[in-house]
Chains A and B, each alone.
Chain A
Amino acid sequence: GAVVSQHPSWVICKSGTSVKIECRSLDFQATTMFWYRQFPKQSLMLMATSNEGSKATYEQGVEKDKFLINHASLTLSTLTVTSAHPEDSSFYICSAIDRNWNEKLFFGSGTQLSVL
């Protein structure tokens, strides 16, 4: 099956710094990738939809200047949390749609971000 690689798995950073999370589709081309965040004991919340070569579409309430998304190729999307604060601490998960299986969504293993 299709594999989505996400790293780092976890990251600890100081308040005010920026953190970049990478999401790669290893064996397929992903025209569309999604970024989610998840707080403990809660469901996944969609943050943004990213299409290759175009600007990401953010969900209501998600600050696009704080969560920078780049989808420069069909196999790579990045999420940069800029000027991170403790309230940004969360589990971030990327996912991708496989062109050949466009009804299936494949998820990365997630990144646990802790901001001190």
Chain B
Amino acid sequence: DAKTTQPNSMESNEEEPVHLPCNHSTISGTDYIHWYRQLPSQGPEYVIHGLTSNVNNRMASLAIAEDRKSSTLILHRATLRDAAVYYCILRDSGTYKYIFGTGTRLKVLA
């Protein structure tokens, strides 16, 4: 299973953009990059996903490196409600399994 590497924690001020990095150097050509976030005592919530091109939705943007060995989740204006653990996951194209890494705990300062 391809693995992802993320910083353990990050901090951001409220109303400022946040860039959450993820390294996935062993990604295969057909693995999708997914981002989920988890609030305490809840199941993870879908944020965004992509394959090769950058993606935008109402929650965030996903910037994927040209060689696909890294990606960055961008929250354009962090709010206190964005404080969560953010997981970068590679969906295995063969087994469809989603293997979670350690994630990044985002703290948003008021």
Q: How many inter-chain residue pairs (CB < 8 Å) link A and B?
A: 53
In the complex, the answer to whether B45 meets A49 with C-beta atoms within 8 Å is no
* CA distance in complex: A107, B87 (Å): 14
Min CB gap A63→B, angstroms? 19
Known: A103-B32, A103-B91, A105-B34. A46 touches B100 (CB 8 A): yes
Min CB gap A40→B, angstroms? 10
Tell me which of B10-18, B19-27, B36-44, B69-77 binds A.
B36-44
* CA distance in complex: A104, B100 (Å): 14
Residues of A within 8 A of B87 (CB): 43-44
A32 at the interface (CB under 8 A from B): yes
In the complex, the answer to whether B41 meets A112 with C-beta atoms within 8 Å is yes
* CA distance in complex: A44, B34 (Å): 15
Classify chain A: how many residues form its interface, as a range. 20 to 34
B101 at the interface (CB under 8 A from A): yes
Q: Which of B41, B98, B102, B103 contacts A34 (CB 8 A)?
A: B98
* CA distance in complex: A97, B96 (Å): 9
* CA distance in complex: A61, B36 (Å): 25
Sample of 16 more A-B contacts, CB < 8 Å, known A91-B41, A104-B46, A110-B42:
A4-B43, A6-B43, A36-B100, A43-B102, A44-B44, A45-B100, A46-B98, A49-B97, A95-B43, A95-B44, A97-B96, A104-B49, A105-B34, A106-B46, A107-B45, A108-B43
